[in-house]
Amino acid sequence: LVPLLAAGALKVSQDPGEVTVTAGDGVALGCCVLANEPWDLLRMEWVKDAGHKVLCATRLHPATPLPCSNCTPRLCLAWHPPCATLSLHQVHGDDAGNYLCWVTLEI
């Protein structure tokens, strides 16, 4: 995981920076969005290994929480403003890699 600082008025940070998980366990990856100006809608995508595979994508509103929404049977995305959590259940060996939270403000 690599923190990302976008140009302008939007800051996106990920936590934890790096994590090791045992096969069969679960893991939660956090992504917080801070903006200097109000926003109405953003698109969040979680990608694996430099964007070659989009794992989960959704549109989020700044003040509307989203309970855990299943992206796949093992992936769940929750939004508790200003942070989102991608939860991966029952980790497999092929889940190893770099995960990135990609955020785009929509106008």
CA dist 107 and 100 (Å) reads 23
Looking at the 3D structure of the chain, how many domains does it have? 1
Can you give the residue range of the structural domain that contains 93?
10-16+25-105
Give the chain's residues under pLDDT 70: 1-8, 51
What global pTM score does this model have? Answer: 0.84
pLDDT value, residue 1:
45
Over the range 73-85, which residues count as b (16 or more CB within 10 Å of their CB) and which as e? Answer: eebbbebeeeebb
pLDDT of amino acid 103: 92
Residue 2 in any domain: the answer is no
**CA atoms of 54 and 6, how far apart (whole Å):** 19
Q: Where are the beta strands (DSSP E) in 1-107?
A: 4-5, 10-15, 27-35, 41-48, 53-60, 66-72, 75-80, 83-88, 99-106
The CB density around residue 15, as the number of other CB atoms within 10 Å, is 15
Tell me what pLDDT residue 6 has.
46
Predicted confidence at residue 50, as pLDDT, reads 72
Indicate which CATH number applies to the domain containing 30.
Answer: 2.60.40.10
- Evaluate whether residue 5 is within a structural domain: no
pLDDT of residue 17: 83
Residue 4 in any domain: the answer is no
Task: Give the per-residue pLDDT at 8.
Answer: 54
